[in-house]
């Protein structure tokens, strides 16, 4: 396995990210050493929140929440998934899979021997983290999740499966705008269990899967900015035009947030993780099916306090919460707090309060 490591200089002068880095070396199945980064901030004797990010972001996503959580006496541990942030980045598409991410982060967890954790995961942080909890439950005392799920789709109609596979393999060219036009329609269905072909969310999510894989220099900074910042339509059009020309860093509207989310990727070769992982979301049956079933069975019988906290205005996951509540019968559903998909950034005070109350109750 060939592994890339982002130079430290790429992370210099990031706004609102003053945290000391911690590194853990684990071994992949082929013997390759992988260095995983995490931050560990707050009182050492306080209750611990393990906060896991998704795709295509990194632990920077929690930068606004950490001071609020620390002030309440909560210690925050936030890792970067392999392929993201300050963690190492395998360079081949074949290096990435759902199971590999679960194994890598599970090894990271064991090597650090963290105990007494309250978990919070969003997006891929939830998909991976929930599997970690099911595999090593004694390290966790409480579980919280938002804008994520544990998809399990054994009964997806064959015509839907065929449509998705044919679309992914097609020569159809997608732009950022044509992709977004379809992905927002995910609000019409659920990531698990909708057998209606017209509403099956996988036929919308496939646009994100294809766009991320086909776009060699994925515009991560711009994608994140569109979901986390307010900007004028004119600014968006200028930046989009420059991005299409490969000149996005020259845009007069290149913000601090864009810089932070592009920082882990000095060039396109570093972006294999964000490009590859969307195709491993199990919206249709794949090699993760049995592992997903076993993890869901764990949560059906688990007595660990479980909190479901969703934005409620995120078209990617709006239909997911009902499946989460079905999977975990003891789950409590918090009020929707808004903020879209990355509500850690857009609703830091509201989300922090929900988690503080859950941890301390």
CA distance 242 to 72: 43
Q: Long-range pairs for 233-240 at CB < 8 Å and ≥24 separation?
A: 240/176, 240/177
- 8 Å CB contact between 279 and 209: yes
Residue matched to tokens 């309440």: 72
Look up residue 88 and give its two tokens: 């190492």
How large is the average pLDDT for residues 278-284?
A: 95
Grade residue 274 by pLDDT with cuts at 50, 70 and 90: very high
Tell whether the model's pLDDT for residue 188 goes beyond 60. Answer: no
Helices (H) and strands (E) in the chain, counts: 14, 10
Question: Which position has the higher pLDDT, 241 or 63?
Answer: 63
Give the model's pLDDT for residue 198.
54
- Give catalytic residues, as residue numbers: 123, 314, 341
Tens of pLDDT, residue by residue over 319-342, are 899 999 999 999 999 999 999 999
What is the Cα–Cα distance from 86 to 24, expressed in whole angstroms? Answer: 11
> pLDDT tens for residues 220-259?
998 999 899 987 556 666 666 766 666 666 567 778 999 9
Provide the pLDDT for residue 177.
87
- Euclidean distance between CA atoms 43 and 48, whole angstroms: 9
- Report pLDDT for 239: 65
Tens digit of pLDDT for each residue in 134-164? 999 999 999 999 999 999 999 999 999 999 9
Q: Which of 131, 107, 103 is nearest to 26 (CA)?
A: 107
Alpha carbons 173 and 232: distance in angstroms, whole number: 27
Q: Which two tokens stand for residue 118?
A: 């309250």
Give the span between the Cα atoms of 258 and 50, in whole angstroms.
25
SS (H, E, C) 241-274: HHHHCCCHHHCCCCCHHHHHHHCCCCCHHHHHHH
* pLDDT band for position 197 (cuts 50, 70, 90): very low
CB 232: neighbour CB atoms within 10 A? 9
Domains of the chain: 3-152+287-360 (3.40.50.1820), 158-280 (no CATH)
Q: Which of 161, 2, 166 is nearest to 95 (CA)?
A: 2
For the beta carbon of residue 27, count every other beta carbon within 10 angstroms.
Answer: 12
Tokens of 67: 């001071």
Do strands 48-52 and 75-79 pair parallel, antiparallel, or not at all (unpaired)?
A: parallel
Q: Which tens digits make up the pLDDT trace of 35-58?
A: 999 999 999 999 999 999 999 999
């Amino acid at each position: 396995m060939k592994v890339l490591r982002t130079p430290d200089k790429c992370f210099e002068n990031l706004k609102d990210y003053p945290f000391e880095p911690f590194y853990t070396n684990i071994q992949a199945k082929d013997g390759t050493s992988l260095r995983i980064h995490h931050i560990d901030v707050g009182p050492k004797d306080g209750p611990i929140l393990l906060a896991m990010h998704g795709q295509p972001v990194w632990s920077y996503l929690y930068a606004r929440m950490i001071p609020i959580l620390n002030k309440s006496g909560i210690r925050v541990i936030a890792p970067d998934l392999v392929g993201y942030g300050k963690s190492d980045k395998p360079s081949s598409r074949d290096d990435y899979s759902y199971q590999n991410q679960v194994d890598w982060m599970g090894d990271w967890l064991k090597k650090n021997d963290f105990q007494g954790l309250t978990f919070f995961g969003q997006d891929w942080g939830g998909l991976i983290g929930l599997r970690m909890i099911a595999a090593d439950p004694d390290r966790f005392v409480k579980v919280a999740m938002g804008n994520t799920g544990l998809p399990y789709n054994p009964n997806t109609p064959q015509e839907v499966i065929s449509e998705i596979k044919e679309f992914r393999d097609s020569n159809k060219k997608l732009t950022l705008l044509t992709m977004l036009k379809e992905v927002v329609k995910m609000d019409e269905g659920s990531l698990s269990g909708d057998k209606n072909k017209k509403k099956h969310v996988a036929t919308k999510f496939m646009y994100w899967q294809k766009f991320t894989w086909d776009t060699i220099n994925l515009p991560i900074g711009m994608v994140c900015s569109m979901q986390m910042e307010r900007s004028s339509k004119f600014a968006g059009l200028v930046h989009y035009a420059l991005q299409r020309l490969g000149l996005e860093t020259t845009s007069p509207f290149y913000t601090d947030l864009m810089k932070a989310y592009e920082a882990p990727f000095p060039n396109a070769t570093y972006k294999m993780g964000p490009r590859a992982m969307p195709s491993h979301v199990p919206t249709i049956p794949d090699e993760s099916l049995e592992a997903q079933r076993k993890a869901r069975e764990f949560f059906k019988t688990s007595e660990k306090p479980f909190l479901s906290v969703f934005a409620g205005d995120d078209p990617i996951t709006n239909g997911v919460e009902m499946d989460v509540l079905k999977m975990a019968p003891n789950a409590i559903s918090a009020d929707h707090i808004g903020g879209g998909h990355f509500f850690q950034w857009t609703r830091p005070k509201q989300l922090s309060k929900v988690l503080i109350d859950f941890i301390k109750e």
